[in-house]
Amino acid sequence: MKIYTKTGDKGTTSLFDNKRVLKDDIRVESYGTVDELNSFMGLAKNYVEDDEMYNLIENIQNKLFTVGAYLATEDPTKVKYHIVEKDIEELEKIVDLYMGKLQGVSGFIVPGSGKKSAYLHVARTICRRAERRIITLSREVEINPLVIKYINRLSDCLYALARYSEEREVNVRY
């Protein structure tokens, strides 16, 4: 099976609804950053020893395909799956659960005192960049507010998972 089509050789790509756009279009940048986030979360989960956290990350990765499909489709009526309020509530439960397991969180920490937390912190920063790209896109086209809310809450969730995974806390000295 050939995976190359040669249709992108001149700097364009197809959206899910077959519209051709430039590869540096903000829509492509938005869903591409979500794809990067999803890939990095895949890396991060392989350093997590806790089965519950591993499964949570994998479930979030599946939801990111929904986010990516939405962003990669110009006509929202052609999107089969959607982010719903329940998805956001699930992220909030994860944040509350893992932040509740910590002892007196205060101040900033140096990210990544171990591999698992380091990868989760990188995923968090990629998530923040995805959010910025989606906000930029929202200035050009209407974006479902639940997609923006989901990505915003996901960065909080990744922070909670990373913070919980810190092997030792290194406080920022400034």
Residue 171: pLDDT over 90: no
What residues pair up with 21 in beta bridges, in sequence order? 13
What is the distance between the alpha carbons of residues 10 and 163, in angstroms, rounded to a whole number?
44
Mean pLDDT of 53-72: 97
Instruction: Give residue 77's pLDDT band: very low, low, confident or very high (50, 70, 90).
Output: confident
Q: Which of 25-34, 97-106, 111-120 has the lowest mean pLDDT?
A: 97-106
Q: 10 phi and psi, to 5 degrees?
A: -110, 20
Beta strands of 18-93 (E only): which ranges? 20-22
pLDDT > 90 in the chain, percent: 70
CA–CA dist 79, 72 (Å, integer) = 9
Which pLDDT value is given to residue 168? 66
pLDDT, position 126: 98
Is 170 a residue whose pLDDT tops 80? no
Q: Would you say residue 102 has pLDDT above 80?
A: yes
Query: What pLDDT score was predicted for residue 11?
Result: 87
Segment 90-98 shows an average pLDDT of 97
Determine the Cα–Cα distance for residues 90 and 25; give it in Å rounded to an integer. 31
46 phi and psi angles, rounded to 5 deg: -75, -5
pTM of model > 0.85:
yes
**CB-count exposure of residue 119 (10 Å: 0-12, 13-18, 19+):** buried
CATH of 12-72+82-165, one of 1.10.10.10, 1.20.200.10, 1.10.600.10, 1.20.1200.10: 1.20.1200.10
